[in-house]
């Protein structure tokens, strides 16, 4: 299927080159006073209102440009289908994952390697784009970063005399103390399979080694070798959930945690706005997952959660670039990270929410590592496999399945 998409999209680029001369007038239409419509397609339903606000501001400043805010369910699947039909939106906002890698390799996006906008982006996030695509060229501008962190209820920690753990052993000891006090250490929401990913990403990223996926692609390692520790630790954490780990979903967990039904929540920082909606007065903190017993080796999982790419076949590339530059403006980027509780990929633009103070040292030191699942094709469906693991707790079966599925993907390339 990937080869088919790539071939179709390559054909689309040939067609677009042949028709380029006929589209020059359209590209500068807004400058000549004509009304131009561009499409901003993204995969962030929780950010739709924020983008609505920013788009309204952009359109007031640029009355000849209409921006359509498009955010369909299963956005990445929709995007790949549209790309195969040579119907790529003008501006695309997705994560730096395998979908972005596939589309970049197929030539769907403008080459931004030499774009001046990259000069103001933190190099670590530009490197992540190159790492996930395996390409030297850069086909998007990193915009915002998220982070996996253990969210904790400060009131419960104070009540039980707990301190933030720095090592794996301390982490388990804290969970044991919470459990011994008759409270729930972690609130799991495994009804939604994807909620297995935040904690597993943190465990894997801190134990797999720096070259795991390069070695895996060369056939020099396996999930059985590189992911055993992470998987065993994942199963260990399951001992500290509540009575209905499989009957509750993400929305349930946000509300339950907001009500004080657990001391910790193994999620990402994107959950914090939803928790505060349910309880504006809750006092929260966040700390990096302490995966090993060496705090100096702890890295915060923080990848490019949102990038901005411009379609190679856009009829209005100047207007598309103008919108991207608008979003990159410091004031507008600040609006996004404030409302979405995210970190900016832009140099010098900080996240000021005190709730996230526990993560700032990791950013300051550059102790960051990308989300491992960004390198695992969607066809493997890691979330569903992890969801099954929460039921049967069979580490060997899970690892064997991962290796088997990976070989299938490699065989289709």
Q: What is the mean pLDDT of residues 277-301?
A: 96
* pLDDT score of 29: 62
* pLDDT score of 363: 85
Q: Give the chain's length.
A: 413
Q: Say how far apart CA 106 and CA 7 lie, in whole Å.
A: 8
* pLDDT score of 28: 57
Of 233, 199, 194, 230, the residue nearest 212 (C-alpha): 230
Of 248, 241, 216, 259, the residue nearest 377 (C-alpha): 216
Sign for the pseudo-dihedral over CA of 391, 396, 398, 404? negative
User: Which parts of 186-283 are beta strand (E)?
Assistant: 264-268
* pLDDT score of 21: 38
Q: Say how far apart CA 361 and CA 299 lie, in whole Å.
A: 10
Q: pLDDT tens digits for 336-365? A: 999 998 999 999 898 989 999 999 889 888
* DSSP assignment string, 74-120: THHHHHHHHHHTT---SEEEE-SSHHHHHHHHTT-B---TT-GGGGG
Q: Say how far apart CA 143 and CA 158 lie, in whole Å.
A: 36
* pLDDT score of 26: 44
Q: Say how far apart CA 166 and CA 295 lie, in whole Å.
A: 6
* Tokens read off for 297: 């080796």
Q: Say how far apart CA 392 and CA 196 lie, in whole Å.
A: 14
Contacts (Cβ under 8 Å, ≥6 apart) of 215? 209, 221, 226
Contact 152, 263 (CB under 8 A): yes
User: Which parts of 356-402 are beta strand (E)?
Assistant: 368-369
Q: Give the DSSP H or E segment for 217.
A: helix 212-217
Q: How many angstroms separate the Cα of 368 from the Cα of each of 225, 356, 409? A: 23, 15, 28
Q: Give the DSSP H or E segment for 196.
A: none
Contacts (Cβ under 8 Å, ≥6 apart) of 350? 344
Of 272, 316, 248, the residue nearest 64 (C-alpha): 316
pLDDT band, very low/low/confident/very high, at 366 (cuts 50, 70, 90): confident
pLDDT at 218 over 50: yes
Domains of the chain: 2-146+303-352 (3.40.190.10), 148-301+377-412 (3.40.190.10)
pTM recorded for the entire structure: 0.80
pLDDT at 405 over 50: yes
* Tokens read off for 113: 């390697």
* Tokens read off for 135: 């390409």
Q: pLDDT tens digits for 174-210? A: 999 999 999 999 999 999 999 999 999 999 999 999 8
Cα angle value 401/405/406 (rounded, 5°):
115
* pLDDT score of 46: 85
pLDDT at 14 over 80: no
């Amino acid at each position: 299927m990937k080869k088919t998409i790539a071939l179709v999209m390559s054909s689309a680029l040939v067609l677009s080159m042949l028709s380029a001369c006929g589209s020059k007038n359209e590209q500068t239409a807004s400058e000549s006073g004509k009304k131009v419509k561009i499409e901003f397609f993204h995969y962030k339903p929780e950010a739709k209102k924020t983008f609505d606000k920013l788009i309204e501001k952009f359109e007031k400043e640029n009355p000849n440009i209409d921006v359509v805010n498009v955010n369909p369910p299963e956005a990445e699947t929709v995007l790949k289908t549209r790309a195969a039909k040579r119907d790529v939106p003008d501006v695309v906002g997705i994560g730096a994952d395998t979908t972005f890698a596939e589309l970049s390799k197929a030539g769907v996006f403008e080459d931004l390697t030499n774009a001046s906008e990259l000069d103001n982006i933190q190099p670590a996030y530009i490197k992540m784009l190159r790492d996930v695509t395996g390409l030297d060229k850069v086909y998007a501008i990193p915009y915002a970063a998220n982070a996996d962190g253990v969210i904790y209820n400060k009131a419960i920690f104070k009540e039980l005399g707990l301190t933030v753990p720095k090592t794996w052993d301390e982490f388990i000891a804290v969970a044991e103390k919470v459990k011994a006090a008759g409270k729930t250490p972690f609130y799991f929401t495994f009804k939604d399979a994807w909620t297995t990913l935040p904690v597993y990403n943190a465990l894997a990223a801190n134990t797999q080694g720096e070259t795991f996926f390069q070695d895996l692609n060369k056939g020099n390692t396996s999930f059985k070798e590189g992911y055993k520790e992470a998987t065993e630790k994942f199963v260990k954490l399951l001992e500290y959930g509540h009575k209905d780990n499989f009957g509750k979903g993400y929305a349930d967990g946000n509300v339950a945690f907001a009500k004080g039904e657990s001391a910790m929540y193994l999620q990402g920082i994107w959950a914090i706005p939803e928790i505060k909606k349910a309880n504006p007065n809750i006092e929260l903190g966040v700390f990096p997952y302490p995966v090993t017993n060496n705090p100096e080796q702890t890295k915060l999982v923080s990848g490019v959660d949102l990038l901005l790419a411009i379609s190679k076949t856009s009829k209005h590339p100047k207007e598309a670039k103008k919108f991207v530059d608008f979003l990159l403006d410091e004031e507008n980027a600040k609006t996004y990270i404030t409302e979405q509780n995210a970190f900016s990929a832009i140099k010098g633009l900080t996240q000021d929410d005190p709730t996230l103070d526990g993560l700032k040292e990791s950013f300051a030191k550059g102790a960051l590592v990308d989300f491992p699942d960004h390198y695992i094709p969607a066809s493997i469906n890691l979330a569903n496999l992890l969801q099954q693991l929460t039921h049967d707790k069979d580490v060997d079966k899970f690892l064997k399945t991962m290796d088997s599925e990976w070989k299938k993907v490699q065989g289709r390339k």
